[in-house]
Amino acid sequence: MKRTILMLSVLALAVISSAQGRKRTSGNPILPEFHADPEVLYANQTGRFYIYSTTDGAAGWGGYYFTVFSSDDLVEWKHEGIMLDLATDQVPWATGNAWAPCIIERSVGGKWKYFFYYSGHNPANNRKAIGVAVADSPTGPFKDLGHPLVDALPEGQGHGQQIDVDVFQDPESGKCFLYWGNGYMAGAELNDDMVSLKEGTTKVMTPKGGSLKDYQYREAPYIFYRKGTYYFMWSVDDTGSPNYHVAYGTSATPLGDIKVAAEPVVLIQNPEKEIYGPAHNSVLQIPGTDEWYIVYHRINPAYLNREKGPGFHRQVCIDKMSFNADGTIRPVTPTQEGVQAVRIAKKKNRK
């Protein structure tokens, strides 16, 4: 009897110790060191969440590789390593400026494939371009296409950069689309191979008007679908400004005209909590639910002064996002606490 009581006591202490070791919330920022332009993915293959980002902290946005972090609950994040390196022959056409990636999971021939889109510097024409690399796992190894996917301004567009890419699969049609642009927003349908654009579908979609106080488009388009509506989000102002923030509009189709929301600001700074420049976001829907999260970067307050480089000292954060009954997005309150753990039941066969 005494032995049984002793064993139960040890077990209870172990459970208490384990619980005390767990984080109650993710906290913000959620990733160590400096990262920006986060892309969040839930992978059906593994039942885990992943974040891909710009590796920040290098002067002049000089980062040259991408890393990936994974989590099974949005609270504890594991560094999975470098998954694409633009300074090696892994990406023969680019030399650096590894910026603002996105990724999509697709079932191809009964197997999961991961298509990773990103920006890099192309020395052949001394400008930024968008590339794509493919893998069988969300952590790689990834194989680059070998040449840029998007390497020129859209027809009729006179300025801007080919950066800040997003990929989206339309649940209505099953078709996939690519969006990009700093100084403009462009969209195009992807061919079934996912590594080329469908000829004649590229469209400049830049939301018109606005000011730096509300929705004047700068960069970082992000698209998602909810209850029959296509939501378009983008960043306003300069990435080194405390005022850098997220605005949004909606459309009836993936390449349709964007109607700016009556109250367009989704996420903006809160100086009282030392939260500055929260923008360049992605969005996560918990599978099978109407539960949503926004993942974004913000400026580390220790680097807020211009001489310290706020534009490349950014950190990744996560907060909940919700909707009003009419489908409009409620303004997100950026926090220091982050979010509570989210777990998804794993399935035996995810293919």
DSSP 139-179: T---EE-SS-SB-SPPTT--S-BS---EEEE-TTT--EEEE
In sequence order, the β-bridge partners of residue 234 are: 247
Q: Which residue has the tokens 């939260």?
A: 275
How do residues 339-348 score in pLDDT, each as one tens digit? 999 988 765 4
- Catalytic residue positions, numbered: 37, 219
Helix (H) or strand (E) holding 43: strand 35-43
43-69 in b/e form (b: 16+ CB < 10 A) is bbbbebbbbbbbbbbbeebebbbbbbb
d(CA 109, CA 94): 30
**Predicted pLDDT of residue 3:** 38
How do residues 316-330 score in pLDDT, each as one tens digit? 999 999 999 999 999
d(CA 176, CA 168): 6
**What pTM was computed for the model?**
0.92
What residue ranges define each of the domains in the chain, with the CATH number in brackets? 27-321 (2.115.10.20)
d(CA 188, CA 179): 7
How do residues 242-300 score in pLDDT, each as one tens digit? 999 999 999 999 999 999 999 999 999 999 999 999 999 999 999 999 999 999 999 99
User: Is residue 20's pLDDT more than 60?
Assistant: no
